[in-house]
C-alpha cells in the first residue's frame, strides 16, 4: 500500500487490503525490533503466507454484516454465568464477520496460554466460538470460506498480540497506521 511496507494488493476490497497490510506491518514490527529480529527466514515465510492468503478468493468473498470491530476480551462483560454483553462499540461498521470471531479467538487463546493453560484448552474454546457462530446462523454449519477467513483474522490478531507483548508499556506508543506515513499515538488499551 502506498506509504506502507508491503506491496500494493490489487483486486482486494478496502477492508481486506487494510487487514492484510496490518498483518504485514505486525510481521515487520516483530522482525525489526522484537521476537523475529534476526529471523529473516521466518519473517519472510510469514510474509509469503500472508501474500498467498490474500490471493485467495475466500478472503474477500463474503457478505458484509455489522461487526463490533474490536472484539477483544476486554470488550465483553459477563453479568451472569449465562449472559454476555458487548461494550465499547465505537468501531461498529459493516465488515467481515470472520474478523470479530478471529480476533476474539486469538485473544482468548492468548489469555489461556499466558495464564498457563494448555493449548488443548485454548483450541476447545476456539471450537466453541465457531460452533456458537454456526448455531447463531441457524444452520449449525459454517462454510469453508468463512473458516479460511476466520483463520486469517485469528493469525493476524495473534501476530498483533505477539507484537504488543514486545512494545514498551510505560506510556503511549507511537504506531504507524498501515497505508499511511502518519504516525499516531495509541493509548495502552487500544493495542
Q: For the domain that residue 106 is a member of, what is the CATH number?
A: 3.90.1200
Whether the CB-CB separation of 66 and 72 falls below 8 Å is answered with no
Scan for cell 463490533, then name that residue.
68
Give me the residues of the chain with pLDDT under 50, please.
Answer: 1-9, 167-168, 170-191
Instruction: State how many domains the chain has.
Output: 1
Q: What is the pLDDT of residue 171?
A: 43
Q: What is the pLDDT of residue 174?
A: 39
For residue 140, what are the domain limits? 14-190
Query: HSE on the CB side for 78, CA within 13 Å?
Result: 5
Alpha-carbon gap, residue 27 to 66, rounded angstroms = 28
Is residue 3 a part of any domain in this protein? no
Where would I find the H helices in 56-143? 97-114, 119-137
Is residue 9 a part of any domain in this protein? no
Nearest to 12 by CA among 21, 25, 24: 21
Q: What is the pLDDT of residue 80?
A: 92
Q: What is the pLDDT of residue 166?
A: 53
The residues pairing with 77 across neighbouring beta strands, listed in sequence order, are: 85
Is residue 168 a part of any domain in this protein? yes
Per DSSP, the chain holds a count of helices (H) and strands (E) of 5, 6
Cell of residue 174, nine digits: 507511537
Q: What is the pLDDT of residue 30?
A: 86
Is residue 5 a part of any domain in this protein? no
Alpha-carbon gap, residue 30 to 18, rounded angstroms = 18
Whether the CB-CB separation of 2 and 176 falls below 8 Å is answered with no
Whether the CB-CB separation of 9 and 1 falls below 8 Å is answered with yes
Is residue 8 a part of any domain in this protein? no
Q: What is the pLDDT of residue 138?
A: 78
Is residue 113 a part of any domain in this protein? yes
Amino acid at each position: 500500500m502506498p506509504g506502507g511496507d508491503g506491496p500494493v494488493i490489487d483486486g482486494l476490497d478496502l477492508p481486506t487490503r487494510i487487514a492484510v497490510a496490518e498483518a504485514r506491518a505486525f510481521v515487520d514490527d516483530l522482525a525489526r525490533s522484537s521476537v523475529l529480529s534476526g529471523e529473516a527466514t521466518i519473517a519472510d515465510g510469514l510474509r509469503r503466507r500472508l501474500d498467498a492468503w490474500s490471493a485467495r478468493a475466500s478472503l474477500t468473498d463474503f457478505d458484509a454484516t455489522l461487526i463490533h470491530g474490536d472484539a477483544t476480551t476486554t470488550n465483553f462483560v459477563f453479568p451472569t454465568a449465562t449472559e454476555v454483553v458487548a461494550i465499547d462499540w465505537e468501531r461498529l461498521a459493516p465488515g467481515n464477520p470472520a474478523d470479530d470471531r478471529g480476533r476474539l479467538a486469538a485473544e482468548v487463546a492468548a489469555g489461556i496460554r499466558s495464564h498457563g493453560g494448555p493449548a488443548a484448552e485454548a483450541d476447545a474454546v476456539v471450537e466453541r466460538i465457531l460452533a456458537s457462530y454456526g448455531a447463531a446462523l441457524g444452520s449449525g454449519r459454517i462454510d469453508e470460506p468463512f473458516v479460511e477467513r476466520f483463520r486469517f483474522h485469528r493469525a493476524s490478531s495473534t501476530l498483533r498480540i505477539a507484537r504488543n507483548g514486545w512494545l514498551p508499556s510505560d506510556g503511549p506508543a507511537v504506531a504507524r497506521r498501515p497505508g499511511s506515513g502518519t504516525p499516531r499515538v495509541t493509548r495502552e488499551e487500544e493495542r
